[in-house]
Amino acid sequence: MRPLTVKMEAAVQEYLINGGNKSDAYRKGYNTEKMKDVTINRKAHDLFNLPHVKARIGQHAAKIEKKFDITKEWIYKELLWVVENSKLQEKIDTSGINKAIDTLNKMQGYYAPTKTENEHTHTGVGMSDLYKKVES
């Protein structure tokens, strides 16, 4: 893996520490005072799509998961707890509950595309036949 520059590493650290906002992380790592927001957003997008930057984020994520014993099963149980215990709250945060349910659905693969078989029979009518019908 290619090493990251000091600025790249600073942006990655900021991204991991402060909630994963790529544009904000780019602002912290790079001198962006004279840049427009559109430029920052594009450059942040490009930076965080570099393979060696993605790999570095993956390294950090793996360390965090190992340190705190975070597994998919643990995340799943925590999300279920949020959904189940939302009924006990006086003020219900529906956006948080919806996000938890959405994440659970993604983890279960419910949003994955499904393969379907389509039957198509050819009627023998070609484009030239259709044009003839339109013209008459």
pTM, rounded to two decimals: 0.49
Q: Where in the chain is the domain with CATH 1.10.10?
A: 6-68
Q: Kindly indicate whether the domain formed by 6-68 is annotated with CATH number 1.10.10.
A: yes
> Cβ(12)–Cβ(4) under 8 Å?
yes
Using left for φ > 0, alpha for ψ between -120 and 50, and beta otherwise, residue 124 falls in left
pLDDT in tens, the chain (136 residues): 778 899 999 999 888 887 778 999 999 899 899 999 999 999 999 999 999 999 888 887 777 666 666 677 877 787 788 777 776 666 666 777 778 777 777 767 776 776 666 665 655 555 565 555 555 5
